[in-house]
Chains A and B, each alone.
Chain A
Amino acid sequence: DVVVTQSPLSLPVTLGQPASISCRSSQSLVYSNGNTYLSWFQQRPGQSPRRLIYKVSNRDSGVPDRFSGSGSGTDFTLKISRVEAEDVGVYYCMQGTHWPRTFGQGTKVDIK
């Protein structure tokens, strides 16, 4: 199975400051069609997961542009340019290239 490793697992941030989460996979996530199926999800307390980013860097509709995704191959990053209070929650990356699909362990973002 493809192992997906996130870091850090806990990320205390100051309001208005940037934040960055790393996601690394044990195998390349490039699919045979050339697409890279790496997504990022946000889970606020008590809520279902919400997809923020798909295929590495595509932001979902309604997602603030302070969220951005980047990376390639096995190394990916989610960045929040200026953290707001509503960004508190757990963030997960997920690979959708290989079977079985796998999630990272999650990164808990809270306010210092």
Chain B
Amino acid sequence: EVQLVESGGELVQPGGSLRLSCATSGFSFSNYDMTWVRQAPGKGLEWVSAISRDGGSTNYADSVKGRFTISRDNSKNTLYLQMNSLRAEDTALYYCARDWTGPEYWGQGTLVTVSS
């Protein structure tokens, strides 16, 4: 069974940093491109970032470019999102998902709240 479990979300002050993790199981992680998507409270889905299966190619939404860094550790079957210079508008439920052309599997999300 494919599983994606996000963690690392918490309350952080504006300007702070967080690193989200997505632990995966049930599939060959190194064979799949991966994606982060977020959803602000009561709002729609917003694509955030994606990374190729070998980590050699990354892409970002303009809203996070230069502040967020996506990475992966194929030996640990884990996806990461390093989030720096956090703003109130980054408050959202962050989902990791498998694939980057139209994600088939999604985690349950981890909540990031940016507030003083």
Contact = CB atoms under 8 A, between A and B. Distances in A.
Interface string B52-94: 0000000111100000000000000000000000000000000
A110 to B, nearest CB: 16
Interface of A: 1, 35, 37-39, 41, 43, 48-51, 54-55, 60, 90, 92, 94, 96-97, 99-106
B44 A92 contact: yes
Return the 4 tightest CB-CB contacts between A and B, nearest first: A39-B102, A96-B101, A101-B47, A106-B44
Interface of B: 35, 37, 44-47, 50, 59-62, 95, 100-104, 106-109
A103 B100 contact: no
Nearest to B105: A51
B44 A51 contact: no
Contacts of A94: 45, 47, 102
Contacts of B101: 35, 37, 39, 54, 96-97
B83 to A, nearest CB: 17
Contacts of B108: 48
A37 B47 contact: no
A55 B46 CA distance: 20
A100 B47 contact: yes
B33 to A, nearest CB: 10
Contacts of B61: 100
B52 to A, nearest CB: 12
Contacts of A50: 106
A48 B45 contact: no
